[in-house]
Amino acid sequence: MPLRLEIRKMLSSRSDRVKSVDLHPTEPWVLTALYNGNVFIWDYEQATMVKSYEVCSLPVRCAKFIVRKQWFIAASDDMMLRVYNYNTMEKVNAWEAHTDYIRFVEVHPNLPYVLSCSDDMSIKLWDWERGWDCCQVFEGHVHYVMMIKVNPRDTNTFASASLDRSIKVWGVSASAPHFTLDGHDRGVNCLDYYPGGDRPYLVSGADDKTVRIWDYQTKTCVQTLVGHHNNVSAALFHPRLPVIVSASEDGTVRLWHSTTYRAETTLNYSMERAWALAVSADSNKVAVGYDEGTVVLKLGHETPVASLDPHTGRVVWAQNNDIQTASLKGVAAEAGAQDGERLPVAPKDLGATEIFPQALRHNCNGRFLVVCGDGEYVVYTSQALRNKAFGTALDFAWSAVGTGDYAVRESISRVRTYRNFKEAHTLRPPLAAAEGLFGGAALGVRGADAVVFFDWDEGIMVRKIDVAPRDVFWSDAGDLVLLACEESYYVLRYDAGAVAAALARGAVDAEEGVEAAFELVGEVAGRVRTGQWVGACFLYTSDAGRLSYYVGGEVMTLCHLDHPMYMLGYLPKEDRVYLMDKAKGIYSYKVLQSYLQYQTAVVRKDFEAANALLPSIPASEYTAVARFLESQGFKEEALAVSRDPDHRFDLACELGKLALARELLDAIPPAEYDTLDSQTKWKRLGDLALSECDMALVEKCAANSGDLGGLLLLHSSTGNAAGLAALAADAAKAGKTNVGFLALFLLGRLEECLELLVKAGRLPEAAFMARTYLPSEMPRLVELWKKDLQSVSVKAAEALADPSQYPNLFEDLDVALRVEQMFKAQRGRPIPAAQWPQAKDQLDMDLIALVKAGGGGAAAAPGPPPPQQLNGAAAAAPPQPPTAAAAAPSQPEHDDDGVDVAAALAEEEAAATAAAAVRAQAERQEAEQQQAAARAAAAAAAEERARRAVAEEAAARRAQQEAAARQAASAAAAAPPASPAAQVASAVPSPAARTASATASPQTPAEVAQRLKDEAMARARAAAMARVEAAKRAAEEAAAASRAAEQQQAAATMPPRPAPLSASPQPGNGIAAAAPPPAAQEEDEDFGENW
């Protein structure tokens, strides 16, 4: 019977003629050598080119991977061998290896050797550990040597194929061949060794269009395969499948059964001649090189042929025709294997089968084992592999009950069932063609677009469902079934009672079956690779490389698999699920059955059952249970169950339980406060506390998280001066200069701000800040700046002006020094919040301008100190005017309240006086603006009047001239004609007449306009000056009224002052007058007014 291999094309790339192909054992790569001198690496899963190399301008006839070194070696017609690193793409080595075209290279499987053969009829052995030294030369062929292959069973021997029609077998250590195989009628192009250990076979292809199988022990030809119509260019044994693959120049690739030698299939992709073949030992892939490109094929499926008996814990798998077994009970616990680690199982040979196994399954109780393949089936006992039953079958399926109940698909139209190994029913499915068979609680037969379920006992159709599943999985209870399709899977509930009742009544529709037999539970997107039901949970592996499970409509991911794996089964006693990869390695993952049952109860909202199951779950799994509850929306329950502090903190924050979250963070050791995870948690809790207005907790969180910027915002917003001071110290220790500077600046500690800038090396900024706020510090900072700048540029350093040497270059420096002293005297006095409406208008006040405009205060203030005193603020401070408290005699202790009230009133009046001064200045500015507007308006009006006057004067002059002309004409007509002398005399006026005429002539238009404009400007200037004088008088009256009110209030609040002492000293006492000097009083009053 045929193998019925599903052949799928994975890659088809067009290129120039491909002379060689090779598959990477671990990466999805195919290496192609082209006749045009290039080498390409293709990714056959993504159908993209990974890398390309321009080797030479002549044909490259062979290229092979050297996976151990991450190299590939290429042989070309320029007689050179070249080695490249396929990761870095660098050329490792290149040398001239032969004296003619190099046909083939073979990499030794375990020694650092490379074999090459050439048209010079020689074979050479190269050792890359000796610098690619030629260790041996093999000569004996009398024509071109086309190919060489190392024997996988004995790596010290290899075989060669030549156009001299012979195959020679050599030893690595001897230069002469061991023996020669003759039989081909024309030149031999290719050969390959059988990879298994049961047959000492060689396969060869030649120009005589045949493929021959040789027994190299008996040196005889076992079989000749005929079918190609042109030269056979490549032939090999597949390492995983019982097939021989051959490629020919007739453009076809043929598959032959390696045991029966029958032709299985012929492939033709219309890409002209086929030149090369390659297979992988770990997959079912086959690469083919054509005249027009490369094709990569997948033969059959790569799922391991294995089965796990859940009753005994023994796993059975097929290795070619050999059956091996191993026990998995307690292996993971004994080895201490973690999840995902390969288990150290000890395989045991159970026997061999006569057919090539393509499927292997235990029956429902594990007593029997069926092997399917080559269109046949054989039922064995699972312990001793004794034959129980056999027959022909395209598919085989066990029943969910009954020891010997099974069904076989004999053709596309007939299915036969057996009960206790005896034939029971013959079924004719209502399908165009039966393509698959599935066992379980009901027998499933798949068609092209539907699946039909039959009752095992009666053989009657139960239901037809219009989907075509790839596989069908039944639960152990038989109430749930999963249909795995190409893009998704469907979960159905099976009602066996409704089916039994319908069968008893005979109420079964001949076309649709029993309508109530199945109920759709859910549909989930994704492709199931392999799977198994565990109770109401379905464990499965997906094509996305995940181990997941389905429960109650939800899909949970257990882990991500690092390479493709296939599920063997689940052992409830071990609480572990077992998987196998393509290399027959077995892996396990822990999955608690009680945990799965608990999840099922939660999804079904059966909380009583869930609470009853929770104690049976180990405490180590409670965190996983809590995460599941959280995914289902039960966060309160998850918080109560979770044992992970991090998870509990996340849940407490989400639920708004700040006290619990703080307790969890307080439990963190102080040594871990500086870790990133701890700081992130404190910041998160601080944000939540801020949203709840818990400022104390916000401050604690910011301090523990090291969030100095947040502390700055918090303390500045709440007016916490002590907090700002502590923050400045902490910021200085942490090196957060910006935060420390802002904190000190908000506190008014300008000297410390300067020192912070100096320590940070920001001397230019410190100097400019001193110019603005602390001019007494300028000389010291400029000197420091010069010293620092000299290391960069001496000329630039000398260009800096020192205010102690050049005070004239610093405008208003003396005034700035006095303002600094005033600021230092006043900055310790807090401003009551009640005065904010008045104080906010003074924030932009120009103090220097106010001091300069203060009149008496400015005149009475002491002059600037000499330059040598600028370095010391205390020395440079001008003498302070005596205050009222100092000038007045001491008062009794009981008058403190009155003094405080007087001081408060004085402060209020000083603020009012300052406000009046500001208003007066604003009125002066407004008057100036009005004066300018008036001048502009007057000028415009004057111009308009001048234009009108000029126009009127011109019109009058024209009228006068016209009248004079008419009068002269009438007089001339009436008078007698004059003599010529008289005419001349009248035409030339006398000097007196000319003078009178010039004196009486009218002004020009420009002169008239200028005169009118000057008059208008004079009138506007006079009006503006009048308004300015009025504003000044109003301001002076307001200031006088303010001083009078101040004096009245002071007189009302202060006790009566004693009579002043005489200006001259009294006899015997030597005490001067206590009253302050008038100048000091005037200065004090003026300063209070202007401040």
- Are the C-beta atoms of residues 507 and 517 closer than 8 Å to each other? no
pLDDT at 2: 60
Q: Is the pLDDT of residue 987 over 80?
A: no
Structure tokens at 387: 């034959």
| pLDDT tens per residue, range 1005-1064 | 556 556 666 776 677 667 667 766 766 676 677 666 666 655 555 444 443 333 332 333
Question: Within 13 Å of residue 115, how many CA atoms lie on the same side as its CB?
Answer: 30
Domain boundaries defined on the chain = 13-299, 1010-1046
Three-state SS string across 581-645, please? CCCCCEEEEECCHHHHHHHHHHHCCCHHHHHHHHHHCCHHHHHHHHHHHHHCCCHHHHHHHCCCH
- In this structure, of 101-115, 197-211, 589-603, the range with the lowest mean pLDDT score is 589-603
- In this structure, of 100-104, 221-225, 363-367, 932-936, the range with the lowest mean pLDDT score is 932-936
CA distance 712 to 716: 6
Question: Would you state the torsion angle of the CA atoms of residues 1028, 1031, 1037, 1038, taken in this order, to the nearest 10 degrees?
Answer: -140
* Mean pLDDT value across residues 753-760: 89
| pLDDT tens per residue, range 403-419 | 889 999 999 999 999 99
Residue by residue, DSSP assigns 413-439 as S-EEEEETTEEEEEE--SSS---EEE-
Q: What residues does 482 pair with on adjacent strands?
A: 473, 491
Calculate what percentage of the chain has a pLDDT beyond 70: 83
- Helices 645-655/622-631 angle, 10° precision: 30
CA distance 537 to 618: 19
| pLDDT tens per residue, range 456-486 | 988 999 999 999 999 999 998 899 999 999 8
The residue that leads in pLDDT, 615 or 188, is 188
Residue by residue, DSSP assigns 289-331 as EETTEEEEEEES-----EEEETTTTEEEEEETTEEEEEE-TTH
- Are the C-beta atoms of residues 700 and 690 closer than 8 Å to each other? no
Residue 247, φ and ψ in degrees, nearest 5 = -125, 145
Q: Is the pLDDT of residue 718 over 90?
A: no
Other C-beta atoms closer than 10 Å to the C-beta of 326 total: 17
CA distance 552 to 834: 67
Q: Does domain 13-299 have CATH number 3.30.70.20?
A: no
* Mean pLDDT value across residues 578-602: 88
Q: Is the pLDDT of residue 881 over 70?
A: no
SS3 (DSSP) at 958? helix
* Sheet architecture: strand order including 359-362: 359-362, 368-373, 376-381, 387-392
Quote the Cα angle for 276-281-283, to 5°: 95
**Among 12, 50, 45, CA closest to 31:** 50
SS3 (DSSP) at 912? helix
CB-based burial, 658-685: b 16+ in 10 Å, e otherwise: bebbbebbeebeeeeeeeeebbebbbbb
What is the DSSP code (8-state) at residue 440? B
Structure tokens at 636: 């309160």
**Among 208, 253, 275, 246, CA closest to 61:** 275
Residue with the two structure tokens 């004794």: 386
* Amino acid symbol at 301: H
Q: Is the pLDDT of residue 631 over 90?
A: no
Q: What residues does 1023 pair with on adjacent strands?
A: none
Other C-beta atoms closer than 10 Å to the C-beta of 593 total: 17
| pLDDT tens per residue, range 12-61 | 999 999 999 999 999 999 999 999 999 999 999 999 999 999 999 999 99
pLDDT at 913: 62
* Mean pLDDT value across residues 131-151: 95
**Among 437, 435, 412, CA closest to 361:** 437
pLDDT at 1008: 58
CA 259, chain centre distance (Å): 55
Q: Is the pLDDT of residue 190 over 70?
A: yes
- Are the C-beta atoms of residues 435 and 420 closer than 8 Å to each other? no
CB proximity list for 209: less than 8 A, separation 6 or greater: 226, 228, 229, 230, 231, 232, 248
pLDDT at 1057: 34
Long-range CB pairs of 1032-1038, under 8 A, 24+ apart, other chains included? 1032/924, 1034/920, 1034/923, 1035/916, 1035/917, 1035/920, 1035/923, 1035/924, 1038/916, 1038/920
CB proximity list for 663: less than 8 A, separation 6 or greater: none
Confidence of residue 863 (pLDDT cuts 50, 70, 90): very low
Average per-residue pLDDT for the chain: 82
Q: Is the pLDDT of residue 547 over 60?
A: yes
- Are the C-beta atoms of residues 709 and 739 closer than 8 Å to each other? yes
Q: Is the pLDDT of residue 868 over 60?
A: no
- Helices 737-747/721-734 angle, 10° precision: 150
- Helices 763-772/750-759 angle, 10° precision: 160
- In this structure, of 207-211, 307-311, 433-437, 913-917, the range with the lowest mean pLDDT score is 913-917
* Mean pLDDT value across residues 429-441: 92
CA distance 29 to 47: 10
Structure tokens at 896: 């403190």
User: Residue 971, class by beta-carbon neighbours within 10 Å (0-12 exposed, 13-18 middle, 19+ buried)?
Assistant: exposed
- Are the C-beta atoms of residues 191 and 167 closer than 8 Å to each other? yes
